[in-house]
């Protein structure tokens, strides 16, 4: 008997160690999401694509080169002109390139903040699904303990039937409960597949890969300060920062528009090929023509310029209103999540008081049924009440944990 117990202990330790080795922490899942999530990779590629635009906007316009051969050759004093070649290069107004680069820089910063915002969403999706898995594991453990209790009750009921102190109907009712909880345990395993698939989708792994939890639900809400949250969100939340950079993009576009509506300066060179005169021999006979030139493009039509400025002003106003709306929306959600947390905490506190009383009553009824085989109805009722109460406690912890996760999604960055 002693050897058997030792073998069982070794088996339990091996299974426990194996489960612990397979268990995954939230931090490890977060890291997988950062490294492998396809949405993050797509935004990161968009960010890199924006950076490549810096070289595009700082490039001079292509030089223009033209070649002309007159069909009717014009005669000059030094001979007939047989070919004309011209080349010119235009230069934008001073500071135009810097203004365009500033636009690209702010666009890249806005995209980078989008990466941070998506990370917050992905981390919440992982934590939410992870907490659901922890909750299902808690339910499974509860159902398994209930099965053990019903199995003990079944053994007691069978003994009472053999002794003529109980009805076979008691045994059947207990066995029906055993069947019910065996089915519930199987349903829990099916439910876990859905939440595991959510985590695997975020971390870009096979959707049917098992997730083994090793953490409890975090229900502690420390340092709740709505004013501090408002300041933090207004100044540091990635979505708000993204809007700030978009406002700067719009302002820099106005600067670019101003630069683009300044004169454009160009330099050029015209070359004319002259053949020798055969009917005379003047000084410098056949000398070619070389003409340097300076060009200025003057923006006379400014209707489009004013329209662009007006468009950007309206864009900045819209983005400012959007910032205020988004901040208020986040604060409103935080208040709602805090309310959910407080209500669940009150429920949990009440459950703990009720649980102690019900467990005492359950022990009394078990002892009574073991003694005389009576009050099976009350025993089954209170056992079911205990299960529902414990389940409600787990649900309250889940609500509290999800409320904390939702608040952290808006404030933890």
Domains of the chain by range and CATH? 2-36+92-262+299-411 (1.20.1600.10)
At residue 9, the pLDDT reads: 35
Lowest mean pLDDT among 117-126, 327-336, 357-366: 357-366
Closest to 249 in 3D by CA, of 101, 68, 400: 101
The mean pLDDT of 24-39, rounded to a whole number, is 95
Tell me if 244 sits within 8 A of 323, measured CB to CB. yes
Please check the confidence at residue 300 and state whether its pLDDT lies above 70.
yes
The mean pLDDT of 141-151, rounded to a whole number, is 92
At residue 98, the pLDDT reads: 93
Distance set, CA 400 to CA 25, 83, 124, 340, 406 (Å): 19, 86, 14, 7, 10
At residue 34, the pLDDT reads: 95
Q: Convert the pLDDT of each residue in 329-363 to its tens digit.
A: 999 999 999 999 999 999 999 998 898 888 878 77
Q: Convert the pLDDT of each residue in 56-104 to its tens digit.
A: 888 888 999 999 998 888 888 888 999 999 999 999 999 999 999 999 9
Q: Convert the pLDDT of each residue in 177-220 to its tens digit.
A: 999 999 999 999 999 999 999 999 999 999 999 999 988 999 99
Please give the mean pLDDT across all residues of the chain: 89
The mean pLDDT of 230-234, rounded to a whole number, is 95
Q: Which of 306-312's residues contact partners 24+ apart within 8 Å by CB, and which partners?
A: 308/253, 308/254, 308/257, 309/254, 309/257, 312/250, 312/251, 312/253, 312/254, 312/257
Buried residues in 109-118 as b, exposed as e (16+ CB within 10 A): bbbbbbbbbb
Distance set, CA 25 to CA 8, 47, 132, 134, 234 (Å): 28, 30, 14, 12, 31
At residue 89, the pLDDT reads: 94
Provide the Cα torsion 43, 49, 50, 53; round to 10°: 180
Lowest mean pLDDT among 27-41, 223-237, 379-393: 379-393
Please check the confidence at residue 396 and state whether its pLDDT lies above 90.
yes
Which pLDDT band holds residue 5 (cuts at 50, 70, 90)? very low
At residue 8, the pLDDT reads: 33
Which pLDDT band holds residue 371 (cuts at 50, 70, 90)? low
State the pairing for strand pair 79-91/64-68. antiparallel
Closest to 386 in 3D by CA, of 146, 187, 198: 146
At residue 159, the pLDDT reads: 86
Please check the confidence at residue 14 and state whether its pLDDT lies above 50.
no
How many CA atoms lie less than 13 Å away from 314 in the CB half-sphere?
Answer: 6
Closest to 174 in 3D by CA, of 196, 150, 193: 150
The mean pLDDT of 395-402, rounded to a whole number, is 97
Which pLDDT band holds residue 372 (cuts at 50, 70, 90)? low
Which pLDDT band holds residue 21 (cuts at 50, 70, 90)? very low
Using a pLDDT cut of 70, give the percent of the chain over it.
93
Which pLDDT band holds residue 152 (cuts at 50, 70, 90)? confident
Please check the confidence at residue 280 and state whether its pLDDT lies above 80.
yes
């Amino acid at each position: 008997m002693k050897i058997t117990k030792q073998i069982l202990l070794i088996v339990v330790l091996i299974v426990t160690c194996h489960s612990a080795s397979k268990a995954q922490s939230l931090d490890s899942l977060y890291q997988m999401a950062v490294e492998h999530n396809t949405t993050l990779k797509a935004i990161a590629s968009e960010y890199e694509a924006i950076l490549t635009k810096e070289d595009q906007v700082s490039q001079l316009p292509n030089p223009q080169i033209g070649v002309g051969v007159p069909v009717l050759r014009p005669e000059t004093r030094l001979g007939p002109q047989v070919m004309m070649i011209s080349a010119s290069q235009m230069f934008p107004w001073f500071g135009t390139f810097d203004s365009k680069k500033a636009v690209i820089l702010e666009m890249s910063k806005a995209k980078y903040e989008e990466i941070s915002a998506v990370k917050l969403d992905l981390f919440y999706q992982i934590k939410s699904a992870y907490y659901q898995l922890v909750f299902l594991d808690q339910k499974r453990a509860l159902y398994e303990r209930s099965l053990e209790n019903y199995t003990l009750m079944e053994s007691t009921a069978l003994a009472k039937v053999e002794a003529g102190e109980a009805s076979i109907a008691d045994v059947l009712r207990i066995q029906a409960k055993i069947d019910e909880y065996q089915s519930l345990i199987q349903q829990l395993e099916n439910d876990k597949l859905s939440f595991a698939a959510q985590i695997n989708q975020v971390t870009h792994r096979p959707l049917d890969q098992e997730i083994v939890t090793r953490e409890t639900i975090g229900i502690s809400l420390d340092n709740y300060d709505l004013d501090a949250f408002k300041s933090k969100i207004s100044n540091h939340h990635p979505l708000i920062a993204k809007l700030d950079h978009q406002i700067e993009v719009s302002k820099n576009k106005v600067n670019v528009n101003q630069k683009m509506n300044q004169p454009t300066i160009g330099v050029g060179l015209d070359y004319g090929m002259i053949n020798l005169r055969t009917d005379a021999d003047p000084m410098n006979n056949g000398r070619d023509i070389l003409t340097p030139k300076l060009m200025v493009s003057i923006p006379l039509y400014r209707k489009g310029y004013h329209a662009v400025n007006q468009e950007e002003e309206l864009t900045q106003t819209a983005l400012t209103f959007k910032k205020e709306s988004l901040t208020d929306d986040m604060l409103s959600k935080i208040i709602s999540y805090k309310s959910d947390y407080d209500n669940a905490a009150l429920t949990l506190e009440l459950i703990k008081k009720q649980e102690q009383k019900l467990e005492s009553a359950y022990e009394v009824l078990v002892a009574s049924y073991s003694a005389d085989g009576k009050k099976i109805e009350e025993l089954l009722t209170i056992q079911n009440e205990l299960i529902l109460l414990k389940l409600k406690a787990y649900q309250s912890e889940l609500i509290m944990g999800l409320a904390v996760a939702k608040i952290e999604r808006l404030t933890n960055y």
